[in-house]
Amino acid sequence: MRKHNFNAGPSILPREVIEETAKAILDFNGSGLSILEISHRSKDFQAVVDEAEALFKELLRIPEGYSVLFLGGGASLEFCMVPYNFLEKKAAYLNTGVWAKKAMKEAKGFGEVVEVASSADANYTFIPKGYAIPADADYFHITTNNTIYGTELKEDPDSPAPMVADMSSDIFSRPVDVSKYICIYGGAQKNLAPAGLTFVIVKNDALGKVSRYIPTMLNYQTHVDNGSMFNTPPVLPIYSAMLTLRWIKSLGGVKEMERRAVEKADMLYAEIDRNKMFAGTAAKEDRSRMNICFVMATEYKKLEADFMKLAIEKGMVGIKGHRSVGGFRASTYNAITKESVQALIDCMQEFEKLH
């Protein structure tokens, strides 16, 4: 039976990326060696890093003066690396969920942290608006997509302070005005590559401004100077990321990814709104295109396990909501097909007929 992979991360990758990666695991570039055992300093692998970086810059239209880094440690390490490298006195954070809160917690060890707004009181079901960003902040940090709660910032805000963004789960799903940011980072295991890779886009002239000593491995400048090769990078995920970027380019780039994201999200939200058995959890204007969260309507709450059982029987994978919010979550990342979204809708409609 065909599986429909709605996992929130590690998550679905394009089939051709998985197949090409599998080939490279057996024999990389006709070298007689596996991608798992080649030297990261070999000419063949340097070409992979160079192409991945070039595709990042091309697809996101990254201006001159920025570096793209391929690191380890996940977005969770970036929560500490960002303030280490940029926070001299004060930083501003928008609190839109668990990951934003974790990023704020790390920053508090480096200087003053201003929470400009929070939707915690409403269990993060909306993105706050109308807040003031202190112009004297070293940076203003946002989490563009909140995987647990299904909310998303779909445009790059205007800020009087330089901006930093965690784009782990919506990178390459829409065009981004990179020039508004000094740093964009994310774990790649949601919309780009297998787990183990962290991407960082950093503005070169924003570095070297803090007075503190930064440990070598936590200093972005180290990785800029060494082209992500200061230590052994995550070789296999970088290769898969390069293949995913090729795939995005072949389909028409981030504009086309955005068109598909809107189409898939609109389909599923329309069914959630129509079907009396289900209810969306995020404020309509802030609904994520990447993580669609919903619950059983109050009067059908007792049927939650029954729906989950039917969904699993129909090949749905990973639609259980995050343990902190419950219900259901369908992650509709770039690689999920319209057909898989339709299969979930069909499943919801079948359940409605049964009850």
Residue 37 structure tokens: 């055992």
Cis peptide before 215 (omega within 30 of 0): no
C-alpha distances (whole Å) from 333 to each of 150, 290, 292 are 12, 5, 10
Task: Judge whether 166 and 140 are in contact, CB under 8 Å.
Answer: no
Q: Nearest 5°: phi and psi at 266?
A: -60, -40
Residues written for the chain: 355
Q: Edge-to-edge strand order for the sheet containing 181-187?
A: 66-71, 198-203, 181-187, 163-166, 139-143, 90-95, 112-118
Would you give the DSSP letter of residue 320?
B
Place of tokens 């989490």: 143
Which residue among 138, 154, 156, 190 is the active-site one? 190
Would you give the DSSP letter of residue 146?
E
Give yes or no: 166 in active site: yes
DSSP structure string for 48-67? HHHHHHHHHHHHTTPPTTEE
Give yes or no: 190 in active site: yes
> What is the DSSP pairing of strand 4-5 with strand 291-296?
unpaired
Task: Judge whether 150 and 174 are in contact, CB under 8 Å.
Answer: no
- What are the b/e assignments for 69-108, b being 16+ CB within 10 Å? bbbebbbebbbbbbbbbbbeebbbbbbbbbbbbbbbebbe
Give yes or no: 247 in active site: no
Report how far residue 227's alpha carbon sits from residue 233's, in angstroms, rounded to the nearest whole number.
Answer: 10
Would you give the DSSP letter of residue 291?
E
DSSP reduced 3-state for 325: coil
Which residue among 138, 166, 170, 286 is the active-site one? 166
Active site members:
99, 166, 190
